[in-house]
Structure 1
Amino acid sequence: MSIIPAPASPEAPAPTHAPAPQTLEESTTLAQAQSIIRTAMQAEPLALERQTLSQSGNAVFRVELAGGRTVVLRMSPLRGAFAWTAHNLNVLRTIGVPVQAVLASGGASSGGSYVVMSWLPGRDLMFELPLMQPTQAAALADAVAACQQRVAALAQGQGFGWAPIGRPAMAASWGEMFGRPVEEPLNEPQTPLNLLRARLRALRRELEPYFGSVQPVCFLDDLTTKNVIVEGGQLSGLIDLDFVCYGDPLLAVGNTLAQLAVEDSAAARVYGAALVERWQPRGDARRAMHFYSALWLTTAVAAADSMGDAARADALRPVVHAILDAAAA
């Protein structure tokens, strides 16, 4: 069974200062960042702090400018990586979604591209949630769901999957995003991971009619415990919106529940329950939400197995089985 590709990871504010560059590559990247800021902002950067959460291949800096102004610089090795970022953010801002503003963008001398954006105060939800009261967590989940439902009211897409807002996506159906249904039995070893995959494939087959009914609804697919910036227990804004996704918005809910499943706090449980309550999925929609959660976590189990991290794989497998049990209930 094919696994839905993971979208780019966030460029969220890191809670601590990154270490000073130690390698030639890091020093070169820092020099490029300084040059871009001087040219794009017509200002001298007073301080650049490398942000350490990004796993997207982008280099991200928090930049202090004169007068107490703070901006974010994102640099990609790909030309045109941020070609639609300003367009997406402008559309989202018009419908009341709190997002950054693009201050400058263009091609870098290295052959890649860059974008300079306003800074959102706060930290990723993953850092803030353990510090929040349950009432704050419930209110935050409601605010995030309200943003998603505003996005869902935008015009439906042409195709399914990732695209800039209003542009065609690549897949012809939502089910195509998860590969063709696979009939059992497969000739594979009965390992703990393969037993999970077998259960996941069975659920995938059962959900084929539901996937066929899904419309290309616009949603922000990577709003989980990352890309949601929180300050003082309240939503500061949403980040990493170079693309949106067209399909089932419950994918974002399911992926969020998957990340929350390994969090042991009252606030995490309340946040997840509040998201589900806001969307109110019923029947096959609820089963699909559990499928998305189980798929995300099964991918994490496979990654742990491949890295030889038996403790993490052993801890995650019962969580996936419990989610699949909930889908069958």
Structure 2
Amino acid sequence: MDELIINICRATFHDEPAKIKRCSVGLANYVFIVEIKESKYTVRLSTEKNAYNDTVRLLGKLTEIGIPVPRVLYCGSFEQYDYVVLSYIEGEELWAVYKQLTKEDKKILAKEIVHIQREVSLRLSEHVEDWTWLDFVHEILDRAKVLIEENGFFETEKVIRVESQIPILQMYFEKVEPTPYLDDVTTKNLLVKDGHISGIIDVDWIGVGDVLTFAALTYVALLNMGYDTDYVSFILDEMDADDIQRKAFLFYSLMYCVDFMGERGTKYKDKVVEVNLQIIDRLNDIYDRLWNEWRSL
């Protein structure tokens, strides 16, 4: 695939890259970092037609309101691939630096990400039709159930137990409005440099609904890595989450835990999400911990 990247660089920069690095992330896309004349750029590829139309539109909107996202430099198609070339933002993803962060660092990052989310919610608008938050919740759980059945590494009963708790929060879910927010900014896609957020990457869509889900997804990711969850506690405090919101947050954490279970062993493009006995035991332990927390509320 390096030859393809070289050809795209020739067509866009009229030069060849000195270095090409395939990123380990990017399950839905092929992602590369290229270096041309001592400057770095991100190249993303997809076999899907018009794959980056929404990406280009959203990055433009986010740039306008001051959100630190990459700039779109070029986009087009080459052979059977659509591509987008983006400016490169310096920094490490949150998961890569988390263990080196102090509590004060985490508090600062939590304050910054909540500010970013509020800006997105207040200043962006996304048109949605035939939308309810309950439909979204059911969609996540239905997908988890299907993938768990197909892959066979976990018990679908765990999803069914979570589904059975929906009536407890039904009135809360019914009041959730289609508010825009960045729903995939978790331990990944959030770049950190010198103790501050330096950028947000891999923005292909904007979530609409309850912003608490990004905190819950981050929470499960941190538990899955065996890290402390102070950062998420600071996020909830910064959001002034009340008792019912914290209960919803815990439900979303269970929802994403079974979502993680469903992804294990699933193939995306040319990659299969890793699964082994250690991962299975860890996710089962996380589920049990979250379930016990939920039942104790």
Same fold (TM over 0.5): yes
Q: Secondary structure at the match of 1:99?
A: coil
CA contact (8 A) 2:121 2:179 kept: yes
Any idea what the Cα deviations from partners look like across 1:201-233, whole Å, max 9, x if unmatched? 122222222111100000111111000011233
Name the counterpart of 2:137.
Answer: 178
Which residue type is aligned with residue 79 of structure 2? S
Which residue, 253, 259, 268 being the options, matches 1:293?
Answer: 253
Q: CA deviation at 1:99?
A: 0.8
CA RMSD of aligned residues (A): 2.4
Which SS does the other structure have where 2:220 is aligned? helix
1:125 to partner: Cα distance: 0.8
Q: 2:84 aligns with which of 115, 127, 131?
A: 115
Alignment of 1:144-163 (within 5 A): 144-159=113-128
CA–CA distance in structure 2, aligned partners of residues 238 and 305 of structure 1? 27
1:326 aligns with 2:284: no
Sort the Cα spacing of 1:137 and 1:33 in 2 relative to 1 into closer, same or farther, 3 A: same
Please tell me the residue identity of whatever aligns with 1:108: F
Q: TM-score, normalised by structure 2?
A: 0.85
1:8 corresponds to:
none
Rounded Cα–Cα distance in structure 1 between residues aligned with 2:278 and 2:188: 24
The residue type paired with residue 59 of structure 1 is Y
Output the CA distance in 2 between the equivalents of 1:32 and 1:305: 28
1:179 CA displacement: 2.4
Give 1:278 deviation, angstroms: 1.4
- TM-score where L is the length of structure 1: 0.77
Where 1:71 maps in the other structure, the secondary structure is: strand
Match of 1:69 in 2: 39
Q: What CA distance in whole angstroms lies between the structure 2 residues aligned with 1:82 and 1:305?
A: 27
Question: Which runs of 5 or more structure 2 residues have no equivalent in the other structure?
Answer: 142-152, 267-273
Q: What's 1:278 paired with?
A: 238
For 2:59 and 2:34, how far apart are their aligned partners in 1? 20
Displacement, 1:117? 0.4
Is residue 18–residue 34 contact of structure 2 (8 Å, CA) maintained in 1?
yes
Is 1:89 aligned with 2:66? Answer: no
Sequence identity (%): 24
Q: Which amino acid aligns with 2:18?
A: L
Which of 199-208 and 242-251 deviates more? 199-208
* Bigger shift: residues 72-81 or 303-312: 303-312
Superimposed CA distance per residue, residues 6-31 of structure 1 (whole angstroms, 9 cap, x where no aligned partner):
xxxxxxxxxxxxxxxxxxxxxxx211
Deviating beyond 4 angstroms after TM superposition, the runs of 4 or more aligned structure 1 residues are 302-308
Alignment pair present for 1:36 and 2:8: yes
Change (3 A) 1:150 1:197: same
Aligned residues: 277
| Ranges in structure 1 where 5+ consecutive residues have no aligned partner | 1-28, 160-169, 183-190
> Is the CA contact (8 Å cut-off) linking 1:41 and 1:104 kept in structure 2?
no
1:106 and 2:76 are equivalent in the alignment = yes
Contact between 1:193 and 1:301, CA under 8 Å: does it hold in 2?
A: no
1:68-92 deviation per Cα after TM superposition (whole angstroms, max 9, x unaligned): 2111111111121111222211211
Indicate conservation of the 8 Å contact 2:34/2:43, yes or no: yes
Tell me, yes or no, if structure 1 residue 138 matches structure 2 residue 120: no
Q: Which has the higher helix share?
A: 2
